[in-house]
């Protein structure tokens, strides 16, 4: 069964839809430039809507140990998804003992990682365009054919440009064991659409 992460949850409707539709992870973005940014207090309130349920993933960009600690003071996270900050990953792992996912932007086969670089999981997505003001797939697909023959060094998720309309094809073509979506289930930038969340999860898992 394909596993699904709904990232960028920032309101009750999105959180409830993801949980009810069977998301395997829900993600909170702790990066202020993102339109999906939530404060630790807001994320804690959303997470408190359900005791248990899917693991909570916190997304951080170039975080320090103190930055992550300030979030964990407000809510429990099950996974830390990190962009950049390669040199601080060992300290983050030692401090918090949580699984770490690292994001890799790819354009060509040579961009695909052959080493997990200390991570427990990998998020494989398109490299952001030069004009982007934030990391991540930026709603863009990369050429999935470059994944042919790649041997993943750790469990991984496919991300970037996925929607309810293309996720089934993406899974078939890439063999991805899990997928990660944010903007592809929004009706406006940063605004999750419960119907699109349900459609995405259904398409990915069916």
The CB density around residue 143, as the number of other CB atoms within 10 Å, is: 11
pLDDT for residue 132: 53
C-alpha–C-alpha distance, residues 148 and 45, integer Å = 42
pLDDT for residue 135: 54
* Helices first, then strands: H and E counts in the chain: 6, 10
**Rg of the chain in Å (alpha carbons):** 16
pLDDT for residue 118: 84
Residues of the chain with pLDDT under 70: 129-139
pLDDT for residue 175: 96
* 102-114 per-position pLDDT tens digit: 999 999 999 999 9
* 14-45 per-position pLDDT tens digit: 999 999 999 999 999 999 999 999 999 999 99
């Amino acid at each position: 069964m394909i596993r699904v992460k709904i990232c960028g949850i920032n309101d009750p409707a999105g959180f409830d839809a993801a949980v009810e539709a069977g998301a395997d992870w829900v993600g909170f973005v702790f990066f202020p430039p993102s339109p999906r940014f939530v404060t630790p207090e807001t994320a804690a309130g959303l997470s408190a809507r359900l005791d248990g349920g899917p693991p909570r993933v916190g997304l951080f960009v170039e975080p320090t140990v103190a930055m992550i600690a300030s979030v964990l003071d407000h809510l429990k996270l099950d996974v830390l998804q990190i962009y950049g900050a390669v040199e601080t990953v060992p300290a983050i792992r030692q401090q918090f003992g949580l699984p770490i996912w690292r994001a890799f932007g790819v354009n060509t086969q040579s961009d695909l990682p052959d080493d997990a670089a200390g991570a427990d999981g990998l998020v494989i997505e398109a490299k952001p365009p030069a004009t982007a003001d934030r990391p991540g797939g930026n709603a863009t697909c990369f050429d999935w054919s470059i994944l042919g023959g790649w041997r993943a060094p750790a469990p991984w998720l496919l991300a970037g440009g996925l929607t309810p309309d293309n996720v089934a094809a993406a899974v078939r073509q890439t063999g991805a064991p899990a997928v990660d979506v944010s903007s592809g289930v929004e009706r406006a930038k940063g605004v999750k659409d419960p119907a699109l969340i349900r459609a995405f999860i259904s398409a990915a898992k069916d």
